[in-house]
Amino acid sequence: MILDSNIVIYAAEPSDFRCARFIEFENAAIASVTRIEVLGFPGYDSLAIDRKQRLHEIVAGLLEIKLDDVITERAIDLRRQKRLRLADAIIAATALVSNLDLVTRNVADFKNIAGLYVINPFDDRD
């Protein structure tokens, strides 16, 4: 499964009980852009040291699926078809090309993408 940036960030919270379980899955992975989003957001420098360390540990422990030509072309197609932000297009394309489910809280960002199965840890039905 591909973990969206928000899932990695929630999983780093000591009180999290919904998302942390997903980082333990054997096939848990992130897109390259997810590492950029998680470790490069503007408020990162104001985080406590232990929170930064936890984010780095989580990211380092996940398989990172690198952006390649196939994923890039799929992301281009998705952006042409849908009104997706660049990072969301890359994350969705990574999941689709890798034939993996996407775990995200932001289900609306990925709606109506053919072939993409989305899991929302905050939806009690999942």
How far is CA 17 from each of CA 11, 45, 46, 87, rounded to the nearest angstrom?
A: 8, 25, 24, 26
Per-position DSSP letters for 25-76, written without gaps between them:
STT-EEEHHHHHHHHH-TTGGGS-HHHHHHHHHHHHHSEEE---HHHHHHHH
Domain that holds residue 110: 2-119
With respect to residue 89, please indicate whether it lies within any of the assigned structural domains: yes
In a domain, 59, yes or no: yes
> Is residue 125 a part of any domain in this protein?
no
Output the pLDDT for position 83.
86
Give residue 125's pLDDT. 58
User: Is residue 126 a part of any domain in this protein?
Assistant: no
- Evaluate whether residue 91 is within a structural domain: yes
Domain contains 21: yes
- Encode the chain (126 residues) as per-residue pLDDT tens digits: 999 999 999 999 889 889 999 999 999 999 999 999 999 988 889 989 999 999 999 999 999 999 999 999 999 999 999 889 999 999 999 999 999 999 999 999 999 899 999 999 998 754
User: CB neighbours (10 Å) of residue 53?
Assistant: 12
Overall number of domains in the chain: 1
Q: In the sheet where 29-31 sits, what is the strand order?
A: 63-65, 29-31, 2-3, 102-103, 118-119
Q: Tell me the CATH number at 107.
A: 3.40.50.1010
Residue 109 lies in a domain: yes
